[in-house]
Structure 1
Amino acid sequence: MNMIQDFIVYLEDEKGLSENTLESYNRDLRQFKEYIKENDYDSIDQVNKTAIITYLMYLQKKGRAASTISRSLASIRSFYQFLLNIGKVSKDPTINLQSPKQEKKLPNILTLKEVEILLEQPDINSPKGVRDRAMLELLYAAGIRVSELIKLDMEDINLDMGFIMCSRESTNERIIPIGKMAIEMLRDYVSNHRNSFIKNNIESALFVNYHGKRLTRQGFWKIIKSYTKKANINKKITPHTLRHSFAVHLIQNGADLKSVQEMLGHSDISTTQIYTQIVESKIKDVYKKAHPRA
């Protein structure tokens, strides 16, 4: 199992996967390695289909979600395909193994009012509040991921033209328009407050922390968690919630699915279609409540 690191390097160099995706692969395979070691398999070539099925059942008994088990199987499958290609194993034990069926859960979204309440939580009379408000406004205005938000550099925003340039991992750059509220808050932050955080003038990151360094995912998680608590909204809110809300609100107001797909950076439109299900379910709820013969 010392081939795991070689596999991770391969994914990073050849596939250009993000750091978070690489961490998921590494975590899944390390856990699989521990299980194999505890069950006395001397080599990876000894692992057969029965062993992997038993491992998946072990994960299920431990209460792992179907999505987690499916991801683990996908990681193991990719790993064995890699080993097969470089001649380290003679067979792929994952062939014809099916992932557990997953219940498709509709993503949690905020109403327009709830979005307003959340965005109004930062105190814009302080540099930190202006920075935080600018980040929240931008997340909702552009529907970008948190990983994309924290990777933005100063050169990626054009406030005069009203757009940002965003890249997802190693894929092509996409241009996303942003609204006037996001533009105003970004302009205030960049012009009046960013320099109060900066310790080194060569720092290129748009959003920085108190140390003048690029804000991290963990740092942003703490920020949105604190404002969620302050807003007293009785919903589970994650950084991705604003992205989901962005998509649903666009579709509710007449945006076509293809345009929303492009703004979100989805490679497959079927990923974007889940937001139409949310809109349709809300329409059905309204109908049932409002129609006298529903």
Structure 2
Amino acid sequence: MESSEYYIDLFLKYMRSERGATVNTLKAYDKDLRQFLAFLREDNLEIYSATRDNVRDFIMTLTENKYNKNSVIRKLSTLRRFYTFMVKRGFIGENPLVSLFSPKQEKILPNFLTQSEMERLIENIPLDNPLGIRDRAIVECLYSTGMRIGELVQLNVSDVRDDREILIKGKGNKERIVFLGEYALKSLKRYLKEVRPNLVRDDKEKALFLSRFGTRLTCRSIERMMEKYGIMTGKDVSPHTIRHSFATHLLENGADLRAVQELLGHSDLSTTQKYTHITLERLKEIYKKTHPRA
């Protein structure tokens, strides 16, 4: 047999080239598999010789170390994918996770801002300096389109179309079209006209949103920026909060669930349905506050 690392690398290459896994997904797979391998090697075992009992012991160790249920489920999902790949390629004869019980995932309602909080967040981003103009355009684009932060940082100038459309390459390299509202379009045009030309250092740079060094912005840079403006607004805000707010506000205002699914780029409608729980909870709150006999 080859080394355990060899099979992990082979699996990651397969997931990237044949299944279109994103960089972040591949990093998570790699981290989960190497954590399991480190656990196995405490008993001088390798990843290709793991048994069902080894996997069970691993789950128990994670639970004892206070990993939350959803993290454990995600790691189990990684192992299932990996060992399914190993069996299909003929590297091992049996999948040690076959018929192994998986705990039920906890339902965590997404964090979101109300429509007035979203307005306040945007209005608190100053427009008296170039980076503020850029940041306002970023937040407006996130809120107008509901795109993921990873999708936003990968945008090139050429992805923005003249007719208020943006071409996005999402999870699994699936392309979809999202739309820019009036406010987002106005902010983006101002950024492209007044700010980006002064940030760009290399004429060959294609990235839509640039750092002050003229390079493509990273996810972490935008996360830090969002944290800063969230503090100014008195809210805990991340790029994903904006995505959740986008979906919630559409549904609150009568959007069709399947339309929201398409805009978010969800392959499974059940992923989108979690936002209906939010709107139902808010309806309950409104009912309790306003009905005379509630």
TM normalised by structure 1 equals 0.95
Establish whether residue 219 from structure 1 lines up as the match of residue 221 from structure 2: yes
Instruction: Return the letter of the residue paired with 2:16.
Output: E
Which residue of 2 is the match for residue 52 of structure 1? 55
Structure 2: runs of 5+ lacking an equivalent: none
Query: 1:260 & 1:136 partners in 2: Cα distance?
Result: 19
Which residue of 1 is the match for residue 190 of structure 2? 188
Structure 1: runs of 5+ lacking an equivalent: none
Which residue of 2 is the match for residue 134 of structure 1? 137
Task: Give SS of 1:164's match.
Answer: strand
Structure 1 position 172, deviation (Å): 3.4
Among candidates 163, 166, 170, match of residue 164 of structure 1: 166
Task: Give SS of 1:15's match.
Answer: coil
Which residue of 2 is the match for residue 202 of structure 1? 204
Which residue of 1 is the match for residue 234 of structure 2? 232
Paired residues of 2:37 and 2:47 also in contact (CA < 8 A): no
Paired residues of 2:199 and 2:212 also in contact (CA < 8 A): yes
Task: Give SS of 1:74's match.
Answer: helix
Task: Give SS of 1:273's match.
Answer: helix
| Fraction of identical pairs, as percent | 39
**For the aligned residues, what is the CA RMSD?**
1.2
Establish whether residue 18 from structure 1 lines up as the match of residue 29 from structure 2: no
Query: 1:172 & 1:100 partners in 2: Cα distance?
Result: 30
Query: 2:284 & 2:158 partners in 1: Cα distance?
Result: 44
Task: Give SS of 1:161's match.
Answer: coil
Among candidates 74, 78, 81, match of residue 81 of structure 2: 78
Instruction: Return the letter of the residue paired with 2:287.
Output: Y
Structure 1 position 169, deviation (Å): 3.5
Establish whether residue 28 from structure 1 lines up as the match of residue 29 from structure 2: no
Q: Could you list the runs of 4 or more consecutive aligned residues of structure 1 that deviate by over 6 angstroms after TM superposition?
A: none
Task: Give SS of 1:267's match.
Answer: coil
Paired residues of 1:45 and 1:91 also in contact (CA < 8 A): no
Instruction: Return the letter of the residue paired with 1:126.
Output: N
- Give the stretch that moved more between structures: 268-277 or 28-37: 268-277
Size of the alignment, in residue pairs? 290
Which residue of 1 is the match for residue 278 of structure 2? 278
Instruction: Return the letter of the residue paired with 2:195.
Output: H
Task: Give SS of 2:166's match.
Answer: strand
Query: 1:35 & 1:119 partners in 2: Cα distance?
Result: 46
Which residue of 2 is the match for residue 287 of structure 1? 287
Paired residues of 2:8 and 2:30 also in contact (CA < 8 A): yes
Instruction: Return the letter of the residue paired with 1:100.
Output: P
Instruction: Return the letter of the residue paired with 1:272.
Output: T
Query: 1:265 & 1:217 partners in 2: Cα distance?
Result: 19
Structure 1 position 225, deviation (Å): 1.1
Paired residues of 1:153 and 1:205 also in contact (CA < 8 A): yes
Change (3 A) 1:87 1:137: same
Task: Give SS of 1:174's match.
Answer: strand
C-alpha distance after superposition, 1:147-191 (max 9, x if no partner): 011111111112x42221112034432111221110100000001
Structure 1 position 83, deviation (Å): 1.5
Which residue of 1 is the match for residue 267 of structure 2? 267
Structure 1 position 128, deviation (Å): 0.4
Paired residues of 1:45 and 1:90 also in contact (CA < 8 A): no
Task: Give SS of 2:192's match.
Answer: helix
Paired residues of 1:133 and 1:185 also in contact (CA < 8 A): yes
Task: Give SS of 2:70's match.
Answer: helix
Structure 1 position 45, deviation (Å): 4.2
Query: 2:60 & 2:119 partners in 1: Cα distance?
Result: 44
Query: 2:183 & 2:111 partners in 1: Cα distance?
Result: 24
Task: Give SS of 2:210's match.
Answer: coil
Task: Give SS of 2:18's match.
Answer: helix
Which residue of 2 is the match for residue 110 of structure 1? 113
Structure 1 position 102, deviation (Å): 2.0
Query: 1:149 & 1:261 partners in 2: Cα distance?
Result: 18
Query: 1:13 & 1:273 partners in 2: Cα distance?
Result: 30
Which residue of 2 is the match for residue 40 of structure 1? 44
